[in-house]
Chain A
Amino acid sequence: MRIKELIFHVGIILCLSFVIGISANLSLIKQYRKGDFSQSFLSPEDFPSIQFIGIFEAEDLFVGGNAVFLDSRAEEKYLEGHILGAVNIPFEGGERIVEEQLPFPRETTLIVYCDGNECQSSVLLAKVLAEFRFEDIRVFFGGWAEWVAAGLPLSERNDT
Protein backbone atom coordinates (compact mmCIF):
# COMPACT_ATOMS: atom_id res chain seq x y z
CA MET A 1 0.00 0.00 0.00
CA ARG A 2 2.82 2.36 0.97
CA ILE A 3 4.68 1.67 -2.26
CA LYS A 4 1.51 2.34 -4.23
CA GLU A 5 1.11 5.65 -2.43
CA LEU A 6 4.75 6.54 -3.14
CA ILE A 7 4.37 5.73 -6.84
CA PHE A 8 1.15 7.76 -6.94
CA HIS A 9 2.91 10.80 -5.40
CA VAL A 10 5.87 10.44 -7.79
CA GLY A 11 3.38 10.31 -10.66
CA ILE A 12 1.64 13.48 -9.50
CA ILE A 13 4.94 15.40 -9.28
CA LEU A 14 6.09 14.15 -12.69
CA CYS A 15 2.75 14.97 -14.35
CA LEU A 16 2.72 18.46 -12.82
CA SER A 17 6.27 19.11 -14.04
CA PHE A 18 5.35 17.98 -17.57
CA VAL A 19 2.18 20.07 -17.66
CA ILE A 20 3.81 23.24 -16.29
CA GLY A 21 6.98 22.84 -18.36
CA ILE A 22 5.17 22.23 -21.62
CA SER A 23 2.56 24.96 -21.04
CA ALA A 24 5.27 27.49 -20.19
CA ASN A 25 7.21 26.68 -23.39
CA LEU A 26 4.51 26.19 -26.01
CA SER A 27 5.96 28.84 -28.34
CA LEU A 28 9.40 27.26 -28.07
CA ILE A 29 7.97 23.84 -28.96
CA LYS A 30 6.20 25.35 -31.98
CA GLN A 31 9.47 26.95 -33.13
CA TYR A 32 11.26 23.63 -32.70
CA ARG A 33 8.64 21.77 -34.73
CA LYS A 34 8.95 24.44 -37.43
CA GLY A 35 12.64 23.56 -37.64
CA ASP A 36 14.03 26.76 -36.12
CA PHE A 37 16.62 24.89 -34.07
CA SER A 38 17.66 22.31 -36.62
CA GLN A 39 21.37 22.99 -36.18
CA SER A 40 21.68 24.48 -32.74
CA PHE A 41 19.41 25.51 -29.90
CA LEU A 42 19.94 29.16 -30.68
CA SER A 43 16.94 31.43 -31.01
CA PRO A 44 16.94 33.33 -34.36
CA GLU A 45 15.03 36.15 -32.63
CA ASP A 46 17.63 36.54 -29.88
CA PHE A 47 20.61 36.15 -32.22
CA PRO A 48 19.54 37.47 -35.65
CA SER A 49 23.16 38.13 -36.65
CA ILE A 50 24.16 34.46 -36.38
CA GLN A 51 23.71 32.08 -39.32
CA PHE A 52 24.85 28.49 -39.82
CA ILE A 53 26.73 27.61 -42.98
CA GLY A 54 28.08 24.49 -44.63
CA ILE A 55 31.38 23.73 -46.33
CA PHE A 56 30.38 25.15 -49.74
CA GLU A 57 29.40 28.54 -48.39
CA ALA A 58 32.49 28.59 -46.18
CA GLU A 59 34.66 27.84 -49.20
CA ASP A 60 32.93 30.56 -51.27
CA LEU A 61 33.52 33.11 -48.53
CA PHE A 62 37.15 31.98 -48.23
CA VAL A 63 37.70 32.39 -51.97
CA GLY A 64 35.90 35.78 -51.93
CA GLY A 65 38.50 36.95 -49.44
CA ASN A 66 36.29 39.41 -47.60
CA ALA A 67 35.40 37.24 -44.63
CA VAL A 68 37.53 36.61 -41.55
CA PHE A 69 37.80 33.07 -40.20
CA LEU A 70 37.92 32.75 -36.42
CA ASP A 71 39.22 29.52 -34.89
CA SER A 72 37.62 28.99 -31.48
CA ARG A 73 39.73 25.97 -30.55
CA ALA A 74 42.49 25.96 -27.93
CA GLU A 75 45.80 27.54 -28.98
CA GLU A 76 47.65 24.17 -29.14
CA LYS A 77 45.14 22.81 -31.63
CA TYR A 78 45.26 26.02 -33.64
CA LEU A 79 49.06 25.80 -33.85
CA GLU A 80 48.86 22.19 -35.04
CA GLY A 81 46.94 23.45 -38.08
CA HIS A 82 44.07 25.74 -39.00
CA ILE A 83 42.21 27.27 -41.93
CA LEU A 84 44.61 29.50 -43.87
CA GLY A 85 44.47 33.04 -42.47
CA ALA A 86 42.23 32.14 -39.53
CA VAL A 87 42.58 34.13 -36.31
CA ASN A 88 42.70 32.15 -33.08
CA ILE A 89 40.18 33.19 -30.44
CA PRO A 90 40.03 30.28 -28.00
CA PHE A 91 36.59 30.26 -26.44
CA GLU A 92 38.18 30.20 -22.98
CA GLY A 93 39.00 33.89 -22.59
CA GLY A 94 37.34 34.71 -25.90
CA GLU A 95 35.29 37.52 -24.42
CA ARG A 96 38.42 39.39 -23.34
CA ILE A 97 40.11 38.86 -26.72
CA VAL A 98 37.02 40.03 -28.61
CA GLU A 99 36.80 43.11 -26.41
CA GLU A 100 40.49 44.03 -26.52
CA GLN A 101 41.99 42.68 -29.70
CA LEU A 102 39.49 42.07 -32.47
CA PRO A 103 40.32 44.89 -34.87
CA PHE A 104 37.50 44.39 -37.37
CA PRO A 105 34.59 46.71 -38.13
CA ARG A 106 31.26 45.47 -36.78
CA GLU A 107 29.93 44.76 -40.29
CA THR A 108 32.78 42.34 -41.18
CA THR A 109 31.65 38.83 -42.07
CA LEU A 110 33.06 36.58 -39.37
CA ILE A 111 33.16 32.82 -39.84
CA VAL A 112 33.57 30.90 -36.61
CA TYR A 113 34.60 27.27 -36.50
CA CYS A 114 35.91 24.63 -34.11
CA ASP A 115 36.81 20.92 -34.45
CA GLY A 116 33.70 19.74 -36.23
CA ASN A 117 29.96 19.51 -35.98
CA GLU A 118 30.03 18.07 -32.47
CA CYS A 119 32.04 20.79 -30.76
CA GLN A 120 30.31 23.72 -29.10
CA SER A 121 32.94 26.45 -28.77
CA SER A 122 32.15 27.98 -32.19
CA VAL A 123 28.52 28.55 -31.22
CA LEU A 124 29.54 29.94 -27.83
CA LEU A 125 32.04 32.30 -29.45
CA ALA A 126 29.40 33.34 -31.98
CA LYS A 127 27.15 34.31 -29.07
CA VAL A 128 29.95 36.40 -27.55
CA LEU A 129 30.52 38.13 -30.91
CA ALA A 130 26.79 38.83 -31.20
CA GLU A 131 26.86 40.39 -27.74
CA PHE A 132 29.67 42.66 -28.98
CA ARG A 133 27.31 43.72 -31.80
CA PHE A 134 29.07 42.10 -34.75
CA GLU A 135 26.44 42.07 -37.47
CA ASP A 136 27.32 39.12 -39.71
CA ILE A 137 28.44 36.01 -37.89
CA ARG A 138 28.44 32.62 -39.59
CA VAL A 139 29.03 29.40 -37.73
CA PHE A 140 30.76 26.91 -40.01
CA PHE A 141 29.37 23.75 -38.49
CA GLY A 142 31.59 21.21 -40.26
CA GLY A 143 34.61 23.02 -38.83
CA TRP A 144 38.22 21.96 -39.03
CA ALA A 145 37.48 18.26 -39.68
CA GLU A 146 35.35 18.98 -42.75
CA TRP A 147 37.77 21.61 -44.07
CA VAL A 148 40.69 19.14 -43.89
CA ALA A 149 38.62 16.34 -45.44
CA ALA A 150 37.74 18.64 -48.36
CA GLY A 151 41.45 19.36 -48.99
CA LEU A 152 41.05 23.13 -48.65
CA PRO A 153 43.95 25.51 -47.85
CA LEU A 154 45.55 25.12 -44.43
CA SER A 155 48.24 26.80 -42.44
CA GLU A 156 50.47 25.49 -39.68
CA ARG A 157 51.96 28.76 -38.56
CA ASN A 158 50.53 31.39 -36.28
CA ASP A 159 48.49 33.75 -38.44
CA THR A 160 47.34 35.97 -35.60
Chain B
Amino acid sequence: MIRNKSILLVFRLVVGGVFIWAGLLKILDPLEFAQNIANYRVFSRDLSLLAAIVLPWLEILCGVLVIFGIFRSASSLLLSSLLAAFLVLITVTIFRGLDVDCGCFGSLGRHVDYSLLLADIVLLYLTLSIFVSSLSRRSATS
Protein backbone atom coordinates (compact mmCIF):
# COMPACT_ATOMS: atom_id res chain seq x y z
CA MET B 1 0.00 0.00 0.00
CA ILE B 2 1.25 3.50 -0.83
CA ARG B 3 1.84 5.74 2.20
CA ASN B 4 3.83 8.55 0.61
CA LYS B 5 1.71 11.70 0.96
CA SER B 6 3.06 13.37 -2.20
CA ILE B 7 2.30 10.33 -4.35
CA LEU B 8 -1.16 10.07 -2.83
CA LEU B 9 -1.74 13.76 -3.56
CA VAL B 10 -0.81 13.15 -7.21
CA PHE B 11 -3.22 10.18 -7.26
CA ARG B 12 -6.00 12.38 -5.86
CA LEU B 13 -5.36 15.13 -8.40
CA VAL B 14 -5.30 12.67 -11.30
CA VAL B 15 -8.41 10.76 -10.20
CA GLY B 16 -10.31 13.94 -9.26
CA GLY B 17 -9.33 15.67 -12.51
CA VAL B 18 -10.33 12.71 -14.68
CA PHE B 19 -13.73 12.37 -13.04
CA ILE B 20 -14.50 16.10 -13.03
CA TRP B 21 -13.59 16.26 -16.73
CA ALA B 22 -15.61 13.15 -17.56
CA GLY B 23 -18.63 14.42 -15.60
CA LEU B 24 -18.56 17.88 -17.18
CA LEU B 25 -18.48 16.45 -20.71
CA LYS B 26 -21.47 14.23 -19.92
CA ILE B 27 -23.49 17.06 -18.41
CA LEU B 28 -23.20 18.94 -21.71
CA ASP B 29 -25.25 16.27 -23.49
CA PRO B 30 -27.21 13.99 -21.14
CA LEU B 31 -29.24 12.54 -24.01
CA GLU B 32 -26.16 11.34 -25.84
CA PHE B 33 -24.89 9.76 -22.62
CA ALA B 34 -28.30 8.13 -22.06
CA GLN B 35 -28.09 6.66 -25.57
CA ASN B 36 -24.55 5.43 -24.86
CA ILE B 37 -25.78 3.65 -21.73
CA ALA B 38 -28.78 2.20 -23.59
CA ASN B 39 -26.44 0.90 -26.31
CA TYR B 40 -24.84 -1.50 -23.81
CA ARG B 41 -28.20 -3.34 -23.88
CA VAL B 42 -28.02 -4.05 -20.17
CA PHE B 43 -30.23 -1.35 -18.68
CA SER B 44 -33.81 -0.36 -19.40
CA ARG B 45 -34.47 3.03 -21.01
CA ASP B 46 -35.72 4.44 -17.69
CA LEU B 47 -32.54 3.37 -15.91
CA SER B 48 -30.36 4.62 -18.78
CA LEU B 49 -31.85 8.10 -18.49
CA LEU B 50 -31.68 8.12 -14.68
CA ALA B 51 -28.01 7.06 -14.81
CA ALA B 52 -27.27 9.69 -17.47
CA ILE B 53 -28.77 12.37 -15.24
CA VAL B 54 -27.24 11.34 -11.90
CA LEU B 55 -23.90 9.73 -12.78
CA PRO B 56 -22.15 12.86 -14.15
CA TRP B 57 -22.96 14.81 -10.98
CA LEU B 58 -21.80 11.91 -8.84
CA GLU B 59 -18.51 11.86 -10.75
CA ILE B 60 -18.03 15.60 -10.39
CA LEU B 61 -18.93 15.65 -6.70
CA CYS B 62 -16.64 12.73 -5.90
CA GLY B 63 -13.87 14.24 -8.03
CA VAL B 64 -14.02 17.55 -6.15
CA LEU B 65 -14.24 15.82 -2.77
CA VAL B 66 -11.27 13.56 -3.52
CA ILE B 67 -9.13 16.52 -4.61
CA PHE B 68 -9.98 18.62 -1.55
CA GLY B 69 -9.83 15.67 0.83
CA ILE B 70 -13.40 16.07 2.09
CA PHE B 71 -15.25 12.80 2.84
CA ARG B 72 -12.17 11.21 1.33
CA SER B 73 -13.05 7.60 2.26
CA ALA B 74 -16.64 7.88 1.07
CA SER B 75 -15.79 9.62 -2.21
CA SER B 76 -12.91 7.28 -3.07
CA LEU B 77 -15.08 4.27 -2.14
CA LEU B 78 -17.83 5.52 -4.45
CA LEU B 79 -15.37 6.11 -7.30
CA SER B 80 -13.85 2.64 -6.76
CA SER B 81 -17.34 1.11 -6.87
CA LEU B 82 -18.12 2.99 -10.07
CA LEU B 83 -14.86 1.85 -11.68
CA ALA B 84 -15.45 -1.75 -10.58
CA ALA B 85 -18.92 -1.61 -12.14
CA PHE B 86 -17.46 -0.11 -15.36
CA LEU B 87 -14.86 -2.90 -15.36
CA VAL B 88 -17.56 -5.58 -15.29
CA LEU B 89 -19.60 -3.75 -17.94
CA ILE B 90 -16.59 -3.29 -20.26
CA THR B 91 -15.55 -6.95 -19.89
CA VAL B 92 -19.07 -8.22 -20.57
CA THR B 93 -19.36 -5.88 -23.57
CA ILE B 94 -16.06 -7.07 -25.06
CA PHE B 95 -17.07 -10.73 -24.62
CA ARG B 96 -20.48 -10.07 -26.17
CA GLY B 97 -18.69 -8.58 -29.17
CA LEU B 98 -20.66 -5.33 -29.09
CA ASP B 99 -19.09 -2.40 -30.92
CA VAL B 100 -20.27 0.49 -28.77
CA ASP B 101 -19.02 3.88 -27.74
CA CYS B 102 -18.11 3.71 -24.05
CA GLY B 103 -19.73 7.05 -23.23
CA CYS B 104 -16.90 7.73 -20.77
CA PHE B 105 -16.13 11.25 -21.94
CA GLY B 106 -19.34 12.49 -23.54
CA SER B 107 -18.97 13.25 -27.22
CA LEU B 108 -15.22 12.61 -26.99
CA GLY B 109 -16.11 8.98 -26.44
CA ARG B 110 -14.09 5.99 -27.48
CA HIS B 111 -14.93 2.45 -28.35
CA VAL B 112 -15.05 -0.26 -25.73
CA ASP B 113 -11.83 -2.25 -26.10
CA TYR B 114 -8.93 -3.69 -24.11
CA SER B 115 -7.14 -0.33 -23.77
CA LEU B 116 -10.23 1.03 -22.04
CA LEU B 117 -10.18 -1.99 -19.73
CA LEU B 118 -6.54 -1.23 -18.88
CA ALA B 119 -7.27 2.46 -18.22
CA ASP B 120 -10.11 1.43 -15.93
CA ILE B 121 -7.86 -0.96 -13.99
CA VAL B 122 -5.21 1.76 -13.52
CA LEU B 123 -7.82 4.24 -12.26
CA LEU B 124 -9.27 1.59 -9.96
CA TYR B 125 -5.81 1.01 -8.48
CA LEU B 126 -5.46 4.76 -7.82
CA THR B 127 -8.89 5.11 -6.19
CA LEU B 128 -8.38 2.01 -4.06
CA SER B 129 -4.99 3.36 -2.92
CA ILE B 130 -6.68 6.62 -1.89
CA PHE B 131 -9.44 4.70 -0.10
CA VAL B 132 -7.07 2.38 1.81
CA SER B 133 -4.77 5.27 2.80
CA SER B 134 -7.75 7.30 4.07
CA LEU B 135 -8.86 4.35 6.20
CA SER B 136 -5.41 3.88 7.73
CA ARG B 137 -5.17 7.63 8.34
CA ARG B 138 -8.47 7.49 10.21
CA SER B 139 -7.38 4.57 12.37
CA ALA B 140 -4.07 6.36 13.11
CA THR B 141 -5.88 9.51 14.27
CA SER B 142 -8.57 7.69 16.30
Chain A interface (Cβ < 8 Å from any Cβ of B): 2, 6, 9-10, 12-14, 16-18, 20-22, 24-25, 28-29, 32, 37, 40-43, 118, 120, 123
Counting CB contacts under 8 A, is B89 at the interface? Answer: no
- The B contact surface, by secondary structure, is helix
Interface pair B77/A10, CB less than 8 Å apart: yes
Given known pairs A6-B77, A21-B53, A120-B100, the reply for A13 and B58 (CB within 8 Å) is yes
The docked-state distance in angstroms from the alpha carbon of A24 to that of B139 is: 38
Complex Cα distance A18/B54, Å? Answer: 5
A20 to B49, CA, bound (A): 15
The answer on a CB contact under 8 Å between A120 and B35 is yes
Comparing B1-9, B11-19, B68-76, B119-127, the segment that makes contact with chain A is B68-76
CB pair A22–B35 under 8 Å, yes or no, is: no
Counted as pairs of residues, one from A and one from B, with CB atoms less than 8 Å apart, the total is: 77
Closest 6 CB pairs of A and B: A9-B74, A17-B58, A21-B54, A41-B35, A41-B34, A41-B31
In the complex, are the beta carbons of A41 and B49 less than 8 A apart? Answer: yes
Contact B31 A22 (CB under 8 A): no
- Determine the distance from Cα of A6 to Cα of B101 in the docked complex, in whole angstroms: 34
**Nearest A residue to B32 by beta-carbon distance?**
A41
User: Residue B31 contacts which of A9, A10, A42 (CB distance < 8 angstroms)?
Assistant: A42
Contact for A13 among B34, B49, B53, B75, CB less than 8 A: B75
Taking a contact as CB atoms under 8 Å apart, the answer to whether B30 and A28 are in contact is yes
